[in-house]
Chain A
Amino acid sequence: MTTLEHLPFHAAVVRSGKAPKATGGLLAAAVVILAALPYVAFTGATSAMVTFFVLLIMASMWNLLAGFGGMVSVGQQAYVGVGAYTVLAFANLGMHPFLALPLAALTCAVFAIPTSWLAFRLRGDYFAVGTWVIAEVYRLVIIRFDSLGGANGKSLPGLSGMDPVLRGALTYWAALAIAALTVTGCYLLMRGRTGLALTAVRDDETAARANGVGVTWSKRLVYLVSAAGCGAAGGILIIDSLSVQPNAIFSVQWSAYMIFIVILGGIGYLEGPLLGAIVFFVLQQLLAGYGSWYLIILGLIGVAGAVWLPHGLWGTITRTTGLQLFPVGYLLRTEPVTGKTAGKTTSPKRRIGSST
């Protein structure tokens, strides 16, 4: 701290600036405008937006897991499925499906605890395939319950009497609320101690452990949060389609979508999934009629992106312009001392060393 005072310029470590606050306000305004959509748009438009929010939630959760936690999973569809089936199970017991949504997230977080004991024994690539096997196990176990529809799936009770327009609007708001909560939650999580610990773990696990970072605890926390988010997304999916089919809800395709969105948008940037989900959503609308060509093109873009655009679209943008919507890192800002600005510019949010 003191050494900085002797420099011929003011140096301060800052995190937030004017621009992020403006964009933050903009995003908040976007959420408010989006919330009003069911009053002005047709059900078709809101239904398409539900798909978008589900993709955004899943991608944000995968980004948290892989981009910040360093855990590349190909098995998050386990929690999409468990979330959907939790809503179904509570609806079977007579609970209103919308009220079961938080329970779906909670159930997934609970299931994720024993799962993480097993999955965390594997590292890197083996973790990826291991989580995939675990997702298969969840599917194979759930289809053994006849009360949940077995291998054929089941329709969701409890919503048939509801007015379709109202149901559409409620689904839309629930999806929007969970998406907003997910993005904000990721931001707050990554801003805090956990974020710092995770970034350290991702960059060098051994060094982080040596410096006293609670590596396993941080990773497990992120794994649980990610499971809960995917569970809520699965709950939205079953409410939106009013039925569940085990092979579809536990499909590895969900992981493919998550990975594609995050890679395209920019892995390790909170803005990445948002941008990636928008691009993916547009591609999906454009290519939906082409059957399996659509997935082939997605695969090609994914491969090309992973090799030639490792930082994704947002990473490229932020590296060239310095723009950040959700600043979670710290920047060193230096300005030469001049009589006029000396007093004004030294009001940084944080200085080096001031936090300890």
Chain B
Amino acid sequence: MDFVNTLVQGVMLGGLYALFAAGLSLMFGVMRMVNLAHGDLAVAAAYLVVVLLGSSFLPLWLVILIALPLFALIGYATQRGLFSRSLKAGPLSTLLVTFGLSIIVQNGLLQAFSADTRTIDFGALNTGAFRLGPISVSYLGLLTLALAVAVIAGVQLFPSRTRTGRMMRAVSDDADTASLVGANSRHLYAIATAIAFGTVALAGIMSGARSSFDPSMGPAQLIFAFEAVVIGGLGSLGGTLAGGAVLGLTQAFAAQIDPSSTLLAGHLVFLAVLAFRPQGLIPQRAV
């Protein structure tokens, strides 16, 4: 039964990675950019929730309802004010801007909150679990997995089912031509970034409730998200979910065998996919 238990834990961990990866995948799909500050933004969102919970009498659900739109708004503003300028200057500039942003956010958090670890208090949800026969399933893990599936389904359907989404695809394919039919690429890119920032904030909050965090954890979160995207297949959101599951399962089983090899095993699976199946598990369908 140990095996089934590890399997369940691994899939739930994979859900968290997929939730992290959704925003990264969306920004790459629409703007062809990788936001290197992705993980640090998640950590920043977790700190925001900790601060709001500590300094006010707001209930948790309201704090999260404030934090997510706030991050989406920050995303919109960052795209309009900063990323749009760097995208114009070229891909190198964008990479450097997001890398600089990562350093600023990470060290800003370190300055404000010190290197002490924190956890988000979800009350009974933090440790609560129900038993399914001999297997223990945590509510939090199940909630994270459900949120990951919902977010990925939303991000998948949004470009095909909504007018804004269709415009976004048009702009992504050819911004100049799309502008002829009235698409405002700056606004649409900013919407995509807002969604990405909102989802990564959600991922950061779920991760912060699952385990303790500190300001230096951002890069690790980015790397896990990135690995989930590449293992699943670039540009394929369904693949991202599968990639997250593969990464989560690998880490869970490696931890079972030798706890010190958890991270290494995940990275090695990533490198193996890169070496033997560079298109990923579920490659993007030709459009």
Give residues in A with beta carbon < 8 Å to B.
66, 72, 74, 117-118, 121-122, 124-126, 128-130, 132-134, 136-137, 140-141, 144, 252, 256, 259, 263, 267, 291-293, 295-296, 298-300, 302-303, 306-307, 310
Contacts and interface: CB of A to CB of B under 8 A. Distances in A.
Contact of B111 (A126, A133, A140, A296): A296
A330 B223 CA distance: 42
A112 B55 CA distance: 51
Interface stretch (B11-19, B186-194, B266-274): B266-274
Nearest to A143: B260
Given A74-B99, A130-B230, A306-B89, 17 more contacts: A125-B34, A125-B95, A126-B34, A126-B234, A128-B36, A129-B223, A133-B270, A140-B263, A259-B96, A259-B99, A292-B108, A292-B110, A293-B111, A296-B107, A299-B103, A307-B85, A310-B90
Contacts of A126: 34, 226, 230, 234
Interface residues of B, number: 44
Contacts of A144: 260, 264
B103 A128 contact: no
A117 B103 contact: no
Given A125-B91, A132-B223, A292-B111, A303 B275 contact: no
A133 B86 contact: no
Contacts of B92: 66, 72, 267, 306
A72 B111 CA distance: 29
Q: Would you list the 9 A-B pairs with minimal beta carbon distance, nearest first?
A: A125-B34, A299-B103, A303-B100, A299-B104, A302-B100, A306-B96, A292-B107, A140-B264, A295-B107
Contacts of B95: 72, 124-125, 128
19 contacts: A125-B33, A125-B95, A136-B223, A136-B263, A137-B267, A140-B263, A140-B264, A141-B264, A252-B219, A291-B111, A296-B104, A296-B108, A298-B103, A303-B101, A306-B92, A306-B96, A307-B85, A307-B86, A307-B93
Interface string B64-91: 0000000000000000001001100111
B222 interface: yes
A267 B94 CA distance: 14
Interface of B: 28, 32-34, 36, 82, 85-86, 89-97, 99-104, 107-108, 110-111, 219, 222-223, 226-227, 230, 234, 260, 263-264, 267-268, 270-271, 274-275, 278
A137 B230 CA distance: 16
B223 A256 contact: no
A302 to B, nearest CB: 4
Contacts of B260: 144
Contacts, number: 116
Interface of B is mostly: helix
Q: Which of A132, A293, A302, A307 has the most CB of B within 10 A?
A: A307
B269 to A, nearest CB: 11
Contacts of B96: 259, 263, 302-303, 306
Given A72-B92, A133-B223, A118 B274 contact: yes
A133 B267 contact: yes
B264 A117 contact: no
B274 A122 contact: yes
A310 B234 contact: no
Nearest to A267: B92
B85 A133 contact: no
A128 B91 CA distance: 12
A306 B93 contact: yes
Contacts of A310: 89-90, 93
Contacts of A74: 36, 99
Contacts of A256: 99, 103
Nearest to B115: A292
A144 B108 CA distance: 33
B34 A129 contact: yes
A230 to B, nearest CB: 18
Contacts of A298: 103
A298 B82 CA distance: 17
A299 B90 CA distance: 19
A226 B159 CA distance: 42
B107 A118 contact: no
B97 A133 contact: no
A307 B97 contact: yes
A125 B97 CA distance: 12
B234 to A, nearest CB: 7
Nearest to B271: A118
Contacts of B268: 137
A291 B85 CA distance: 30
Nearest to B215: A292
Q: Which of A130, A132, A137, A306 has the most CB of B within 10 A?
A: A306
A141 B268 CA distance: 10
A329 to B, nearest CB: 19
B107 A299 contact: yes
Nearest to B24: A129
Nearest to B225: A129
Contacts of B226: 126, 129, 133
Contacts of B111: 291-293, 296
A137 B264 contact: yes
B89 A129 contact: no
A124 B178 CA distance: 25
